[in-house]
Amino acid sequence: MHYSKAFSRRSFLRGTGGSLLALPYLNIMADAATAETVPMRMVCVGTTYGFVPKLFFPQETGKDYALPPLLKPLARHRENFTVFSQLDHGVNGVGGHQGVHSFLSGILSKNSKGFREQNISIDQKAAEFVGASTRYPSMQITSGSDPNNLLSWTSAGVAIPPVQDLRMLHALLFQRSSQQERSVLKQLHQQQQSILDLVRTDAEYLQKRIGREDKEKLEQYFTSVREVELRLTQSAAWLDRPKPKVSYEIPQGANEMDFVDRVPLYYDLIALALQTDSTRVLTLELSDIGGNSGGFPITKGYHQLTHHGKVESYIEELSIIETFHTTQFARFLDKLTAITEPNGKTLLDNTMTLLGSGMGNASSHSNRDLPLLLAGGGFRHGQHLLFEKDRSRGTATPAANLFVSMLQRFGLETDQFNLSTGTLTGLEVAG
């Protein structure tokens, strides 16, 4: 394709402008890290429309599989990732485009009633474990504004809105607030906590006078209040602590750039956020590609292309977008691999990095057999794992089993996550 050459040149020019060369050695951790204290991180990247199955899933299993077209950009990291086939969320995660939001939880929000933690997503489960150890327990980032692709959900079943503005993200991570701004923020924190106290008092009074169903709704509300209070307390503790200093700058007009030029910048900021220990948990939603065809040489809209009906011309154009996703993911892994941490391992070794979607086959609106790839995190990789389906019920192995394995690796003592039935067979920690 002519596109690949054009993109390579574009990437190189962008890099010489600072984006690719702006990851300096940063000796700015809040607490000096040692080999024993290097933390595990988690990054989850989700696409709205998934990937064309025949271009994503290998035909062979084990270690000697041939890389399918969409995984070829990741060839240099072959030993650093595992591909999973026939994992999904069963009937609880089925809902066409509306089902994409169950990617990291396994449960549709409308089906979450009765679950102890509603439809909490894996990143938020990990963020609860991190607590106030970092400035941000987690960060949510999006490249677009697709309401169906909200990835992060609290234990109360509330979606966390992601940040799209690149300059805002940079400011959140690295821009020092003035003394006056910090004073205002402290006042706001105090006012918000006072409001929460008043609302909680009213709610507790009301709870004595309502029925069982309303009490359940109120309990969910209490959970939301407690989560807000916790976030306020955690963020207030960091107001007077200086932010890291980096030489990385966001280009002028970055937010108006085409999709193909903005996405690498999101990955740059994620890498910096991890390296400076500003957060240990991040999600990146790769949503709609925006206007101007996102900068891709395509003749039809992204959504239209996903409903290809096996028309080869549609699939060929769609593969341009999907190859871009795996190419940028490979570039991100390059960055993590290039950074050595105090324990002698790379940042990729210390970061579980998930790429996937809550959409299995956008052409048929199927949420079955999700495309899932996990890199780094100290697991024994370099393989394609195919899981058997229950033929009698047509159900796959729960993708939540993968999430249990990830949470355990993150440090949680748990053997369950939402609809899991255990850990994931075949995914082992490297010796």
Q: What pLDDT digit, counting tens, does each position of 210-256 carry?
A: 777 777 666 666 666 666 666 656 666 677 788 899 999 999 999 99
- State the pLDDT at residue 223: 66
What does 292-338 look like in DSSP terms, one character per residue?
GGGG-S-SS-HHHHHS-TT-HHHHHHHHHHHHHHHHHHHHHHHHHHT
Average pLDDT over residues 27-40: 60
CA distance 85 to 368: 10
* pTM (predicted TM-score): 0.83
What are the pLDDT digits (tens) for 78-91?
999 999 999 999 88
Largest CA distance in the chain: 69
3-state secondary structure of 50: coil
Strand partners, 85: 386
Long-range contacts of 403-410 (CB under 8 A, 24+ apart): 403/104, 403/106, 403/122, 406/42, 406/122, 406/352, 406/354, 406/374, 406/377, 407/122, 407/125, 407/126, 409/40, 409/352, 409/377, 409/378, 409/379, 410/40, 410/42, 410/126, 410/129, 410/352
- Among 25-34, 46-55, 115-124, 171-180, the minimum mean pLDDT is found in 25-34
What are the pLDDT digits (tens) for 372-388?
999 999 999 999 999 98
pLDDT band at 118 (very low <50, low <70, confident <90, very high): confident
Looking at residue 313, its amino acid is S
**Helix, strand, coil percentages for the chain (3-state, nearest 5):** 45, 10, 45
3-state secondary structure of 281: strand
Pairing of strands 372-375, 383-386: unpaired
Residue with tokens 């370099």: 382
CA distance 53 to 364: 11
Contact indicator for 294, 262 with CB cutoff of 8 Å: no
Q: How far is CA 254 from CA 37, 165, 266, 321, 327, in A?
A: 36, 9, 10, 20, 20
Q: Which residues contact 399 (CB under 8 A, 6 or more apart)?
A: 84, 87, 88, 89, 93, 106, 370, 372
- State the pLDDT at residue 192: 59
- Starting at the edge strand found earlier in the chain, the sheet holding 372-375 runs 139-142, 281-286, 41-47, 351-356, 372-375, 81-85, 383-386
pLDDT at 73 over 60: yes
Residue with tokens 């003394």: 179
3-state secondary structure of 422: coil
CA angle, residues 11, 12, 14, in degrees to nearest 5? 65
What are the pLDDT digits (tens) for 158-188?
888 899 999 999 988 998 766 665 565 556 5
What does 211-257 look like in DSSP terms, one character per residue?
-HHHHHHHHHHHHHHHHHHHHHHHHHTTTTSPPP--S--PPTTGGGS
Contact indicator for 374, 81 with CB cutoff of 8 Å: yes
